[in-house]
Structure 1
């Protein structure tokens, strides 16, 4: 894993904002994405990393999940592979951490994953 991205995870963990098991889970997910040939760097996956760290922590702490609107769901219609990947992450999070990601969090996660699935061209367009 890229050093800057690993540092992001470490900072969240060292500051007490996330549990070590959440940090380990997110790190493993990023390594798996990289193993699929995705470019997983601070630039491409920093926001994904932060979102997943905090979403899982909120769920494990019993806090309410973020809500997403119809616009988010509509945007995902063009990215079914990202939504499928997000659902798979949610299944693993439930199994490994006991954190059940609701649909709204899955949709937000899918938006981040869509950037990774689309590759560098979408990242440039989004800038």
Structure 2
């Protein structure tokens, strides 16, 4: 039996984080939560089994979600990246190659569908 893909959700807004965690969990994925890029990097250093990083762009800490996305792509190239924001104007050129952008407010189906596409690729 194949292990469930593991998704790291990086979101500092508690209610947005809870909604994302619930949607991804209900879709059958294993989910890990981080509140900022520093927590996310600490988790990634200990967990080589993460498949997707789903990160908010605007958050406190040493780096925003775009910098985190590029750091992850450089350090852990196989990990897929989804970035989200309700404020930042993001183009495909702002994200690392293969990264996806979801504008807030997104639906649970958009999040889960994008994760499924990336995991299947």
* TM-score tier after normalising by the smaller chain length: 0.3 to 0.5
Query: Which structure has the highest strand share of the two?
Result: 2
Query: Which structure has the highest helix share of the two?
Result: 1
Q: Which of the pair has the greater relative contact order for Cα pairs under 8 Å at 6+ separation?
A: 1
TM-score, reference length from structure 1: 0.33
TM-score, reference length from structure 2: 0.34
